[in-house]
Amino acid sequence: METKANYVAVGIFTLVALAVAFAFVYWTATRGDFAEAADLRIRIVGSASGIGRGSAVLFNGVRVGEVKRVFIDLDHPNQAVADTQVDRSTPITKSTQADIGIGGLTGPSSIDLRGGDPNEPSLFDLADEAGTTAEITARPSAVSNLLESAQGIFTKADEVLSGLDSFVKEVRDPLKDT
């Protein structure tokens, strides 16, 4: 049995092992989740509440991409724009519908894509031919619609209660006299 360790060989082996480990971590981090990603711009009419960098893009419930940034369209201030990267093999066509999905009570929102006619050409192919970014418009979220409806209902209820209050004030004195 050898009593002297070869410190140079042990040191070189350690350095090589660390370099391989770092290279593997770097490779997995840069490779990403999606084999070939494509840019997809999603216009959101109304509120984009809950959508932010890293929010999921789902196609029929399957995660196919993520949001890279969200900003206000300066030409159309009532619209927010979400720039996303999605898997290029996702069958997104002109008839694909986009919605803002709810991620639970406190969870982040997501962009839900669904449908699309498989006989139509891919939106990514059309954008490549035109030299632009593929773009789709999302419908307003169900939560936004619900909040707007609730606000309308509360406004009408306030008007009715105000009218009832003024009616009661008007008939109070004649009722007392009677």
pLDDT, position 19: 94
Can you point out the beta strands (E) in the chain?
37-45, 56-59, 62-72, 79-87, 97-101, 110-114, 134-138
- The answer to whether the beta carbons of residues 54 and 66 sit under 8 Å apart is yes
pLDDT, position 30: 65
> Distances from the Cα of 44 to the Cαs of 109, 138, 157, in angstroms?
13, 5, 30
pLDDT, position 14: 92
pLDDT, position 92: 86
Question: Tell me, what DSSP letter sits at residue 61?
Answer: T
pLDDT, position 15: 93
How confident is the chain (178 residues) per 10-residue block, as mean pLDDT?
72 92 81 71 83 87 90 87 88 86 71 84 83 82 66 83 82 77
